[in-house]
Amino acid sequence: MPESSSLPLSYCADPYQYQRRKSRVVSVGGIDIGGANPIRVQSMLTSDTLDTDACVEETLGLVDVGCEIVRVTAQTRRHAANLEHIKAALLERGVDVPLVADIHFKPDAAMEAAKWVEKVRVNPGNFVDSKKFAVREYSDEEYGAELGRIREGFTPLVELCRERGVAMRIGTNHGSLSDRIMNRYGDTPLGMVESALEFARIARDLGYHNFLFSMKASNPKVMVEAYRLLVARLAEAGDDWNYPIHLGVTEAGDGEDGRIKSAIGIGSLLGDGVGDTIRVSLTEDSVHEIPVAFALARIFDRRNLAGAVGSLGGTPALSYDPFVYERRASEEIQVGGIKLGGENTVAVFTSRSKYEKLAHKIDSLGDFKPEVVVEDSGVIELDPRDTEALEEVNRRSSPVLVTVADGGELPVVAAFRLLAARLDARHPILLKDSLEISDDPGKAFLGSLLEASMNLGSLICDGIGDAILIQGEQAPGQSLRLAYNILQASGARIFKTDYVACPSCGRTLFNLQETTAKIREATGHLKGVRIAVMGCIVNGPGEMADADFGYVGGAPGKINLYVGKEAVKFNIPQVEAVDRLVDLIRERGKWIDAPEPVVG
């Protein structure tokens, strides 16, 4: 397989028209994934796997809200053995939901778990491989020897799963790539893909095909690039590499931020037809993940754009490389005293009617202030299929702000991709979350949030957009907050403290929800600082690579603190750990005192 995304790879049939990727069917107990089956929704238990009653009750709660597949951590052989009792207790209650054993580090736990569950998840970064962040160069011979060792360690599990009809997910995490992969491919989407394909080749050599892939990351841009590259590489390898895809954003966090980040990563891929099963990872009780996942699975637009694009005499080439993020190279202009385009940060627009409703309290809006009123911006609105209008703009000697006109039948993402493909790159683009202005005061905010995040986030991950406008949410304050939070989650504009927080599971060594809330309370005023909160070591060090500081469970009641991916403070009592984190931020020169609250 090629090692460069500069080759003509393709990850979807048509980036301008929805078409679900064709995959084979993988059976997980009584649930079929892929093929013509609906997108399956799953979650993961937060309970201790050794606590049978707690796991059963949590599973029943998930099933009650529609969860179709339930994952359970099996960090040791002892934990894996208790899956027998969990499964038996569920069957006694009349519940036969498929169970997935989540395996890290312990092949013997995987072998035990495969006796009792319908699916096993293995992480190529730490199954057989150790992770020491060692720096060394592998010769081809040494690399081949490592692959031989992996084959020896992985083969027994593959053979057991094949014999018992147990499915498998080969799930790469950006935060836990092996040293071997890191040293050959780096901390990259390519490394994530190669890590999974090495294991898949072993499975195929052994005649085992009942598996699927995942490429999870906490950074939506990295996640999207990795999944796109995986799907392209599978297509290039041949039609029989059409394995289903599981989607998820790791460490998405909680509240609106967690939902926005999940919608950007998962929603943008679903919109391109990629994804057969999804898990929304929130630092909340697991039942709260399911409504979000179902909403995402059904939100993407399936309207047909074939005739519209076909009328242009061919499908325009994309304005961006889908496998390598690079912001579209527009030129700088000034609109209402705000610099747009070029290297400037993405601006936030609002409508005049919303601005007028907020005008009396602009000074109290803090970080969520509107920057430009769209009606005063001079933006040119056009249909991206209108060749004459586009040519007129492209003939202009100076760059101008352009957007897609409201109305019409084009889906948002396809419309702006088409605009970016046909418009000279020098012209900045104003993105809209919707091409219809909402006038429904009763519209559910979750729907507005997910749709705006998916549409705007997808385009930002494509490198498109110099300003954004929320039209699908009527409330002025909420629409501005949503706009800024989408920019933050997509990495386009960091205006507040950024948190990477994993969902709780049976491996977690402290209460993630309470701890995350305490850390937010202590550090929420540190604009631009990124803090990772990890319940255990599984993804900790790797996900620290994108964070300034990390708070990671090291042992029961003990916390390790990180700077980047380097652990610098060890075995801190949990009761002291938040204060020690603040001290560490001070030591590194990133601390500022919180502003005094405004009285009256």
Please, what are the domains in the chain? 30-299 (3.20.20.20), 321-489 (3.20.20.20), 498-587 (3.30.413.10)
Strand (E) or helix (H) holding 28: strand 26-28
**Torsion 565-568-569-570 (CA) sign:** positive
Which residue in this structure is represented by tokens 């005063």?
376
Amino acid in position 10: S
pTM of the full predicted structure?
0.88
* Phi, psi dihedrals of residue 193, rounded to the nearest 5°: -65, -50
Residues 6+ apart with CB under 8 A from 449: 256, 259, 260, 263, 473, 482
| Whole-number Å distance between alpha carbons of 371 and 469 | 11
The 8-class DSSP code of residue 292 comes to H
503 and 538 in contact (C-beta within 8 Å)? no
- For 542, half-sphere exposure in the C-beta direction (CA atoms, 13 angstrom radius) is 29
190 and 177 in contact (C-beta within 8 Å)? no
Tokens of 524: 């929420």
Tokens of 425: 């790159």
Helices 220-237 and 445-461 pack at an angle, to 10 degrees, of 70
Return the pLDDT at 285: 86
Helices 83-92 and 52-64 pack at an angle, to 10 degrees, of 50
Amino acid in position 92: E
| Whole-number Å distance between alpha carbons of 408 and 119 | 45
* Phi, psi dihedrals of residue 166, rounded to the nearest 5°: -90, 135
| Whole-number Å distance between alpha carbons of 585 and 529 | 9
Mean pLDDT by 10 residues, the chain (600 residues): 50 90 96 96 94 98 97 94 98 98 90 98 84 68 90 97 98 85 87 96 98 92 95 96 94 79 94 95 89 87 49 80 94 95 96 93 83 97 96 97 93 96 97 93 89 96 97 94 94 82 59 80 84 68 70 82 85 88 90 67
